[in-house]
A = this chain, B = another copy of it.
Amino acid sequence: MTSHAPVTSLDGLVRAVLEHTAGGPLPKVAIARSAEGHVLQAGVEAFERGVAEPILIGDIDETKRIAEAGNLDISAFRTIEMTDDQQAVDEAVRLFREGEAQFIMKGLVSTAQLLKGVLNKKTGVPNPGSILSHVAAFESPVDGRLMLITDPGVNIAPSMQRKAEILKNSLDVARKLGMTRPKAAILAATEKINYPAMPATLDGDILTKMSRQGEFGDAEVLGPLSLDLAMSREVAACKRFDNPVAGCADILVTPNIEAGNILYKALSTLCGRTMAAVVVGSQVPVVVPSRGDTDASKFHSIALASLLAQRSQ
């Protein structure tokens, strides 16, 4: 894989997309289905700021009405009439498979249906041996560094094996963001192995050992680790934790969906961080915005998916 200059902020993420594009055609995002105000708004912003060009799949009359009501100019976008959810999903995947779109965004269809279409063995674009997982980029409230969290939204109670796949997916994203030797913290409630009471602590230890054996390539993996130790050099120093990952993690791997979702919401709602999130693990980056996400979050999610698409070619 080519190595890239490190992306160190969300602004830097947008700049990196623009550098790739450099006046050429924009990466295209297939939106299934498009008749939704917030999604349209994010698509228009992405287009105007030069990070992606939407292809609208859905009820096009209704899409136009919503755009007009929201004062959104969608006249430049390709449109494909498709009012059935399944057909809209299949069309979005087909556009990617045939090189007409570079990534996909969820509109009015359900997340489950969209991801099922992506993973379909006949018509989809799965990555053999990989699983889908959710990765979000944000700027650390502690020291401003660009960091990743996974998995706040797709895998519910991952086994150690699935955590290894989730970790691999996030390391791939980190490398595409230019982190040359990404540092991942496998989070738990404590640094001590406590098995069988706390399986997350054993998972952290095993993943650390797998990493030392080279399982994850050029990376530093450390677990089990609590959140403060992963993020704060001050706490790491206070607890006398001397390891390249302690206080300096690039990636936070959460033990289960509740912990992941709560950390995601703590970062967005409590810390006011913009979260750029994408579902990775198949051949196509998928943007799955949720209602509670801010407009900035939806726009930066498109930018992240766009960069990942550019750097997957």
Q: Which of B226, B258, B271 contacts A265 (CB 8 A)?
A: B226
CB pair A269 B232 closer than 8 Å: yes
Per-residue 0/1 for A248-267: is the Cβ within 8 Å of any B Cβ (1 yes, 0 no)?
00000011111111110111
Q: Is the CB of A189 within 8 A of B239?
A: no
Q: Does A231 contact B (CB under 8 A)?
A: yes
Contact size class for A? 35 or more
Query: Which residue of B is nearest A232, CB measured?
Result: B269
Chain copies in the assembly?
2
Q: Does A1 contact B (CB under 8 A)?
A: no
Tell me the nearest residue of chain B to A252, going by C-beta: B262
Docked Cα-Cα span, A19 to B31, in Å, equals 61
B197 pairs with A269, CB closer than 8 A: no
Residues 20-55 of chain A, each 1 if its beta carbon lies under 8 Å from chain B, else 0: 000000000000000000000000000000000000
Q: How far apart sit A228 and B266, CA to CA, in the bound complex (Å)? A: 8
Smallest CB-CB separation from A140: which chain B residue? Answer: B270
Complex interface: chain B residues within 8 A of A235 (CB): 269, 292
**Closest B residue, CB atoms, query A264:** B227
A132 vs B280: C-alpha distance when bound (angstroms)? 41
**Which of chain A's residues 153-212 have a Cβ closer than 8 Å to chain B?**
153, 156, 187-190, 197-198, 200
- Whether B262 and A292, one on each chain, are in contact in the complex, defined by CB atoms closer than 8 angstroms, is no
Task: Report A127-167 CB contacts with B as 1/0, cut-off 8 Å.
Answer: 00000000000001110000000001100100000000000
11 contacts between A and B (CB under 8 A): A141-B271, A156-B189, A187-B262, A226-B262, A227-B262, A227-B265, A227-B266, A238-B292, A254-B262, A263-B263, A266-B266
Chain A: residues with CB nearer than 8 A to chain B? Answer: 140-142, 152-153, 156, 187-190, 197-198, 200, 226-229, 231-232, 235, 238-239, 254-263, 265-271, 291-292
